[in-house]
Amino acid sequence: MNGIARVISVTSGKGGVGKTTMTVNLAVCLARAGKSVLLLDADLGLANVDVMLGLAPHHTLNDVLEGRKNLGEILVSGPEGISIIPAASGVEEMGSLDTAKRMILMQEIEEIAHKFDYLLIDTSAGIGADVLYFNSASSEIVVVINDEPTSLTDAYALIKVLSQNYGEKSFSVLVNEVADAKTAITAFNRLNSAVERFLHVELRNLGFIPQDSAAAEAVRNQKALVEIYPSSPAALAFAALARKLDAEFYDLRVKGGMQFFFKQLLELSAHGN
Ligand SMILES: Nc1ncnc2c1ncn2[C@@H]1O[C@H](COP(=O)(O)OP(=O)(O)O)[C@@H](O)[C@H]1O
Ligand SMILES: [Mg+2]
């Protein structure tokens, strides 16, 4: 079961809304369902997948960028056998890397991603060059929001840049850390009505993850929530989300994930980004 990875980036306008929580737990749930999963920690400013999972990588993306290692040599293994590409904190932004370096890195990612069913990319927040780059390179973008007004306005700003400057026309939205379904729907509708009115893009509602103290507790224990508190409300919601996404898996494979990934990168490079 491999060949063309389905590439999903997890992103947000505002920080601290639950991107890493979502990526890590989705990865573990997909692995449990028998899929091979590669998780790229692309939050280059604030790498934290390894911290969240209590891993101590000897090497990071930094070693790849500086030519000391190839990607295969820096992979770390996580819960349920997921593979992780750890990012070094404080690495130069991808946006400031020259085209040649970026191409080498992306070629390596593409090569290795062929060995997996899923490539999940945990990006940083905001509209920095690296975020835009990873999002436009992936074939599906999940924007994580919560019900705070700033998370909505920042998500709107991100969607605007990705649609107007990078031609992205569809996004999935996950509402995290909310009290109930009603709050989640209100938050989604708020974002959706602004987007429908001013941008020509389509938002798909992926549902919500409830606010759950077990999420922070899992971070304190440096374990994935779905591992340590599998029956907590948020863990159950992540498991359901993984099932929902994975149910679409076969359709999407026909369209092809990674080929698209690389094609996008070539176009981006051609535009000098
Ligand atoms: N559904 C949730 N309920 C309660 N706390 C959550 C939830 N999701 C995330 N958190 C907490 O919010 C904080 C930020 O989450 P994180 O995934 O690191 O966000 P990001 O990667 O977007 O910066 C963490 O301490 C995490 O435990
Ligand atoms: Mg994060």
Task: Write the pLDDT tens digit of every residue in 79-137.
Answer: 999 999 998 665 555 555 667 767 777 888 888 888 999 999 999 899 988 788 888 88
Q: Cβ neighbours of residue 8 under 8 Å, at least 6 residues apart? A: 118, 119, 120, 121, 138, 139, 140, 141, 142, 245
In this prediction, residues 163-180 reach a mean pLDDT of 95
pTM of the model: 0.91
In this prediction, residues 31-53 reach a mean pLDDT of 88
Provide the percentage of residues in the chain whose pLDDT is more than 90. Answer: 60
Answer whether residue 1 shows pLDDT above 70. Answer: no
Ligand 2 centroid – CA 120 distance (Å): 13
In this prediction, residues 239-256 reach a mean pLDDT of 75
User: For a substitution probing ligand 1, which of 10, 12, 21 has the most ligand atoms within 8 Å of its CB?
Assistant: 21
Domains of the chain: 6-270 (3.40.50.300)
Q: What are the residues facing 209 on neighbouring strands?
A: 176
Both structure tokens of 14: 């505002």
Query: What is the phi-psi region of residue 256: left when phi exceeds 0, alpha when psi lies from -120 to 50, beta otherwise?
Result: left
Tens digits of per-residue pLDDT, 131-144? Answer: 888 888 888 999 99
Using alpha carbons only, what angle is made at residue 118 by residues 233 and 106, rounded to the nearest 5 degrees? 130
Q: Is 216 in the pocket of ligand 1 (CB under 6 A)?
A: yes
Report the alpha-carbon distance of residue 100 to residue 57 in Å, rounded.
26
- Give the range among 38-42, 217-221, 246-250 with minimum mean pLDDT: 246-250
Q: Is 19 in the pocket of ligand 1 (CB under 6 A)?
A: yes
Top-confidence residue, 249 or 163: 163
Helix, strand or coil, per DSSP, at residue 251: helix
Ligand 1 atom closest to 24 (CA): 17
